[in-house]
Amino acid sequence: MAKEVIRQYLPLLEEEGRGAAAGDDTGRDRHYLPELPDEDPYQAGHRTCAGCGPAIEYRWVLKAAGQDTVVAGPTGCMYVANSTYLCTPYTVPWAHTPIASGGSFTAGVAAGYEALIRKGRHPGPYPNIIVMAGDGSAADIGLGSISGALYRNHDALFICYDNECYANTGIQVSPTTPYAGMTTFTPFGKAIPEGKSLPPKNLAKMMAEGHPHCYVATTTVGYPVDLMNKTRKGLNHRGAAFMHCFTPCQKGWVYQTSMTVEIGRRVVEAGLFPVWEYDPADRTYHYFHPPVQRPVTDYLAMQGRFGHMLPEHIASIQVQANRNWQDIGMDVPAELREGEDPAKHLRLRDETYSMPLNRGVGA
Ligand SMILES: Cc1ncc(C[n+]2csc(CCOP(=O)(O)OP(=O)(O)O)c2C)c(N)n1
Ligand code: SF4
Ligand SMILES: [Mg+2]
C-alpha cells in the first residue's frame, strides 16, 4: 500500500524591523534578528568574490530552509565558484544541472522523492527542494524548463538569483540587465551612449501572470528576514513556487564591496525593484511600501556600470521608477516628478547623491 507523503512546515520569522529601524528603542538596525537559525547549510569557504550578492542570498535561503533540503544549481557563478573538484560549501545534497535544465532537473527530483516516499524507499518527510538559477538561466536560456516545471506544479521552490548579467562568463548582458546598464556586450559609445537600450524583462510578473496557481514573490538581499520568510512560504506552499531575488554583483556592477546589502535596499527605495508577493489563493499582489522614497540617482551613482549616464538617461529611469511607484499604489513625491525632466540632471558622475555611512537610525 502506498505510504503517505508527509510535508514539512517551516515557521515564519518575526519581521519586526523590516525596512528600517522603526520601533527599536535602542535605535539599532534590527535586520539581523537574534532568533535566526544558527545553522548554515551554505558554509564559509566558497570562492565567490568578496561582497557577492548571490552568495549572501544562498546563505540566507539555506539558513531559512535548514538541513532537510536538496539543492540544484544550473551553470553560472554559483555553480562554478562553489564547486571546485571534490569541494563544495554545502552541508546538504547539491547537484549541478546544465544551464537550460534547472526546471526539468528539479521537477525530476521532486517527482522522484514523491515516488520513493510512496513506495516506502525514503523514510521522509518530503524534503525542501530548491533550485537557484541565475538570471541568464531563469530569464533566458532555461526559462522554458522553469516555466514547464511551474506549470506542472511540481512541489519545489524555483529561485532566480538576479545579478542582472551573465556574470560567470565575463559580465555579458542578460534580459534582466537594466536600461543603461553597461556590460561587456553593451558598452556605451557614440552610437549607443546609454549602453543597454532595452528595458529589463519583468521576469517575476511573467511568472505570476503565466502560472497563476503558483506562489510568486520578489525580494532582495537588502531585506534578509523578508528573503528568508519568502523562502519558507515558498517551501510551505504545496506545489510550485517562484522567488525572484535581486542580488548585486560586486564585480560586474563595480561598487564598494561592503555596499551589497545597502544596494539591495536602495533599489527598492528608488522604485526600481518592487518587492511583492502574489497569493495564488486569491490571485492578488501584495506590495511592500518602503518607508523611504529616493531619487534614482541615490541608487545609480553608487555603481560604476552606470557611470556613463547622461541627463536624459537618468530622467528616463526616473520616469520608469515613478510608474513603478504608481503601480504599487504609492504617491510620487514632487521631487521625484521633477526628476523626469532631463534639464534637472547633470551627467551621473557629476550628480550629488547621498552615500550612507550608518544605517542605524531612520532610513
Ligand atoms: C547552453 C549553454 N550556453 C552557454 C553556457 C556558458 N555559460 C556558463 S555560465 C554562464 C553564465 C550564466 O549566467 P547566469 O545564469 O546569470 O548566472 P551568473 O553567472 O550570473 O551567476 C554561461 C553563459 C553554458 N554553460 N551552457
Ligand atoms: S562575478 Fe558577481 S556573481 Fe560572480 S562571484 Fe563575483 S560578485 Fe558573485
Ligand atoms: Mg546572472
Q: Closest ligand 1 atom to the C-alpha of 133? A: 15
pLDDT at 28: 46
pLDDT at 311: 98
Question: What pLDDT shows up at residue 362?
Answer: 38
**Pocket residue to mutate for ligand 1, from 164, 166, 173, 203, most atoms within 8 A of Cβ:** 166
Nearest CA to ligand 2 atom 4: 77
**With 50 as the cut, is the pLDDT of residue 7 above it?**
yes
Distance of CA 316 to the CA centre of its chain: 24
The CA 200 to ligand 1 mean position distance, Å, reads 18
Residue 100 Cβ < 6 Å to ligand 1: yes
Task: For ligand 1, say whether the CB of 322 is within 6 Å of any of its atoms.
Answer: no
Identify the bridge partners of residue 214 per DSSP, sorted by sequence position: none
- Give distance in angstroms: CA of 135 to centre of ligand 1: 9
Q: Choose the residue to mutate in 75, 247, 249 for probing ligand 2, maximizing ligand atoms within 8 Å of C-beta.
A: 249
Residue 217 forms beta bridges with which residues?
A: 243, 277
CB 2 within 8 A of CB 118: yes
pLDDT given at position 13:
87
Encode pLDDT of 242-255 as tens digits: 999 999 999 999 99
The answer to whether residue 153 scores a pLDDT higher than 60 is yes
Q: How far is the CA of 100 from the centre of ligand 3 (A)?
A: 13
77 CB within 6 A, ligand 2 = yes
Read off the pLDDT of residues 77-120 as tens digits, 9 standing for 90 and up: 999 999 988 889 999 999 999 999 999 999 999 999 999 999 99
Beta strands in the chain (DSSP E): 69-74, 94-97, 128-134, 157-162, 215-220, 241-246, 276-279, 284-287
Distance 169 CA to ligand 1 centre (A): 6
pLDDT tens digits, 334-359? 999 999 999 999 999 999 888 765 44
pTM of the predicted model as reported, rounded to 2 decimal places: 0.94
Ligand 1 pocket residue status of 138, Cβ below 6 Å: no
Give residue 250 CA to ligand 3 midpoint distance, Å: 12
pLDDT score for 16 = 60
Average confidence score pLDDT of the chain: 92
Ligand 1 in reach of 141 Cβ (< 6 A):
yes
Predicted confidence band of residue 18 (pLDDT cuts 50, 70, 90): very low
Q: Would you say residue 196 has pLDDT above 90?
A: yes
Distance in Å from the first CA to the final CA of the chain: 58
Residue 21 has pLDDT above 90, yes or no: no
Residue 75 Cβ inside 6 Å of ligand 1? The answer reads: yes
CA of 147 to the centre of ligand 2 (A): 25
What is the predicted pLDDT for the residue at 70? 98
Ligand 2 mutation target, pool 47, 56, 79, 163, most atoms within 8 A of CB? 163
Whether the ω angle into residue 200 lies within 30 degrees of 0, i.e. cis, is no
Choice from 250, 256, 257, 263 to test ligand 2 binding pocket (greatest atom count within 8 A of CB) = 250
Alpha helices (runs of H) in 172-259, residue ranges in sequence order? 203-210, 224-236, 250-253
Q: Is 293 in the pocket of ligand 2 (CB under 6 A)?
A: no
Average pLDDT over every residue of 216-229:
95
72 lines ligand 1 (CB under 6 A): no
Residue 159 has pLDDT above 80, yes or no: yes
Find cell 547539491 and name the residue. Answer: 94
Separation of 256 CA from ligand 3 center, angstroms? 19
Q: What is the mean pLDDT of residues 218-232?
A: 95
Q: How far is residue 322 from each of residues 19, 72, 201, 248, 340, measured CA to CA in Å?
A: 20, 37, 18, 22, 9
Instruction: Express each pLDDT in 287-336 by its tens digit.
Output: 999 999 999 999 999 999 999 999 999 999 999 999 999 999 999 999 99
